[in-house]
Structure 1
Amino acid sequence: MSTPIKMTNVDREQLRGFVTEGFAALGLTDEDAGIFANALIFSELRFHPGQGQGVARLRRYHERIGNGEVNPRAGWSILKEGPALALVDAHNGIGTVAAAKAMSLAIKKAKEGGIGTVIVRNSTHYGSSAVHACQALDHGCVGIAYTNAGPEMAPWGGREGATGTNPWSIAAPSDKGFPVVLDIALTTAGKGMMKWHEREGRKMPLDWALTPDGEETDDPSAAMAGALLGIGGHKGYGLAFMTEATTGVLSGGGFGLTPYSNPDKLDVSHYFQAIDISWFMDPDDYAKRMGEFVDMCKSRALRPGFDEILVPGEQEARRTAAKSAGGVPIDDVVLADMIELGRELGLKTQLDALRPYTGTTL
């Protein structure tokens, strides 16, 4: 019998202030601390906590900065630049911050010439791809962001990791009250969700991961030391492989087995693209056309067992609205650790519990 993980609601803005102050205490500039905190709050609101893209990363970065894996004040430099392209070196700095600045550059180029593409090398973990793709929406652009990662996915037919989860996001505006946002890892699931199932005492689907011997398993404990499986079998592996081709290989950075292999240089590479909608049509017309497309999809007959058709980003938009209104549910284990970290860092901002989380979905 599974046991749900206990969670507690905290205030969204108090949480933002705590995380911002925390990153400043870890050595980030005030500007960069704000960028990083906003990105983590964005992810905490949109995603399931088991995916590991939220505020729990404050402790992880305390460790990474403390042991020299990441340079909190690394700087950011353009190695080569053209009207629509740029190659950037992140100097092993905060990947989320480097990504935000790279997408800003891609947007600038898109507004000048219709499209902008920026590739970043020598970076670190950049968080949720949706954070960076959605950055383009405020500037009338479609945003695309993806990254390579540590070698957790087995190549098709293999049992050892060779490529990363390599998450993608594509964000486009609509007139439906929320943007349409695809945000997917190219593995069926990540080890964060495996750990969540393990803690709850639940089995996982057989298409998530392999044991070290290469066998499919529904036991998250048995799979933690094995490789992850790609979405759609060989198709997910193929997409992950080509993501490496257009990030690490093309940038001159790390790829395949290289990212995270050296703790002194994590060597992650990212890709960002912004497409200016106004180059093609009036942005309001685009949003209306996207809304029509959403309606087309939602008008189709339902399969047995389903009561609604969703489009990419719709579920996340609902989560964001619910968590913003009623408080952000935080895993009690994570919340206790964050409060302890706040004491260690001497933070002034407190994290006060609003109420226990009693929802049935995350």
Structure 2
Amino acid sequence: MSEKIYWIDFETMEKFMVDVFVGVGVPLEDAKICADVLITSDKRGIDSHGIGRLKPIYYDRIKLGIQNPVTNFEIVREGLTTAVVDGHDGMGHVIGKKAMQLAIDKAKKYGMGMVAVRNSTHYGIAGYYSLMAVKEGMIGITGTNARPSIAPTFGVENMLGTNPLTFGMPTDEEFPFVLDCATSITQRGKIEVYDREGKDVPKGWVIDENGNARTDTHQILKDLVKGTAALTPLGGIGEETAGYKGYGYATVVEILSAALQGGSFLKGLLGFDENNKPMPYHLGHFFIAINISEFTELENFKKTTGEILRQLRNSKKAPGQDRIYTAGEKEYEAWLYRKDKGVPVNEALQRDMLTLKKELNLTQYSFPFEE
């Protein structure tokens, strides 16, 4: 029997998330930023990083004492086009938004801006910050390291995080070009979605300690934490399908998220101390804003970029295929589909929301899935 999915409108869901964040100690204005990042993910159809992460990632970590609800955004070093920020283990969404805004402000004045961050926490979808730059007529680039999940090529130990490398560029179309993806074949969040749906993960996404493929979703999530399972990098297992490329790009993100800012890296991001007790993750990020108008007219850039994308989509299709997509197109179509429907809430997510409502006494909300 298939589970019952309910749709909750975006306004209600965003308000609910704001109230949850406030209820666990996040200041109101910061709570609005956090909720905006999460609802943006749901609006774009990225269910792995939206409301589904509210309880298990942010709420639970604050309750556990390994993430600070009040964010101290400290600029510890600054140049004309650069800055280094210490986030003091506050809310990654707040740190990320302020850091990208700082990079954008520098790019407006000097053409380019880059901000490196240390001691942060999970900042939601990376594309949110690239889109900030796009809205200002700029190219936005960001990346973040994460708790170890990926094994190096020819290795089986989870060493690197899923480490997204994300680009956003304005176009003359209804939607920008936004490439927002992990440097692994998949990310932990998508496996969590499969777990909530009771599905096995595809073969080749995860390997065990002997290098064998794993598909048992629920146990995989446990073993990723224990270090007895690992995600494979983009390209897959070994060199035959170029897994070394994903491994290399993941390493680039790791370096830019740790070496520039004097931050933690690799096993230092496990989230456990030497006594196996939970501790802050101390993540690092980087944000780059490039002011297009310093290179060419913005409209010319948009037109050329749009033409590149249109020619790609209009190129010859493989037999049986109706369409070719470009990055950001599916997310735009997800928004068109969801804008009048809201966020899909499965049974696992329903339980999380009811738990949050009860624990925080949010009696002003009445959801259709309540008994």
**Do the structures match in fold with TM over 0.5?**
yes
Q: Does 1:100 align with 2:97?
A: yes
Change beyond 3 A, Cα 1:58–1:200: closer
Pick aligned residue for 1:154 from 151, 163, 166:
151
Shift of 1:91: 0.5
Q: Give the match's secondary structure for 2:117.
A: strand
Instruction: Name the amino acid aligned to 1:137.
Output: V
Aligned partners of 1:5 and 1:199 also within 8 Å: no
Q: Residue 299 of structure 1 corresponds to which residue in structure 2?
A: 314
* 1:83-121, Cα deviation, whole Å (9 max, x unpaired): 110000000111111001000000000000010000000
* Separation in 1, partners of 2:216, 2:24: 37
Q: Select 1:44's aligned residue among 42, 45, 51.
A: 42
Per-residue CA distance 1:294-342 (angstroms, 9 max, x = gap): 1110121001231101000100111112111222212222123213312
Cα deviation for residue 349 of structure 1 reads: 4.2
8 Å Cα contact 1:339-1:351 kept in structure 2: no
Name the aligned partner's letter for residue 258 of structure 1.
Answer: G
Q: Is the 8 A contact 1:14 1:349 kept in 2?
A: no
Q: Is there any run of 5+ residues in structure 2 with no aligned partner, and where?
A: 224-228, 236-242
Who is 2:296 aligned against? 281
2-side partners of 1:142 and 1:90: how far apart? 24
Q: Taking CA–CA contacts closer than 8 Å with sequence separation of 6 or more, which of the two structures ends up with the larger relative contact order?
A: 1
Query: Which residue of 245, 252, 264 corresponds with 2:255?
Result: 245
Write the mapping of 1:216-255 to structure 2, written as runs, cut at 5 A: 216-221=213-218, 223-224=220-221, 225=223, 226-232=229-235, 233-255=243-265
Residue 113 in structure 1 maps to residue 107 in structure 2: no
What are the Cα deviations for residues 181-209 of structure 1, in whole angstroms up to 9, with x where unaligned? Answer: 00100110123333443454544322201
Q: What SS is found at the alignment partner of 2:189? A: helix
Q: Is the 8 A contact 1:78 1:86 kept in 2?
A: yes
Match of 1:315 among 330, 344, 347: 330
The percentage of counterpart residues that share the same residue type is: 36
Task: Decide whether the 8 Å contact of 2:71 with 2:94 is kept in 1.
Answer: no
Is 1:57–2:53 an aligned residue pair? Answer: yes
Q: Cα–Cα, structure 1 residues 351 and 318, in superposed 2: closer, same or farther, change >3 Å?
A: farther
Structure 1 unaligned segments of length 5 or more: list them.
Answer: 355-362
* Helix, strand or coil at the partner of 2:206: coil
CA gap 1:210/1:181 in 2 versus in 1, 3 angstroms: same
Distance 1:205 1:185, change over 3 A: same
Q: How many residues align?
A: 350
Q: Distance in 1 between the 2:89 and 2:318 partners?
A: 47
- Kindly report which structure 2 residues correspond to 1:58-97, keeping only aligned pairs within 5 A, or say none: 58-60=54-56, 61-97=58-94
| Residue in 2 that maps onto 1:358 | none
Query: What is the CA-CA distance between 1:348 and the residue it aligns to?
Result: 5.0
Name the Cα RMSD after superposition. 1.8
Q: Output the CA distance in 1 between the equivalents of 2:53 and 2:218.
A: 22
Q: Is the partner of 2:339 in helix, strand or coil? A: helix
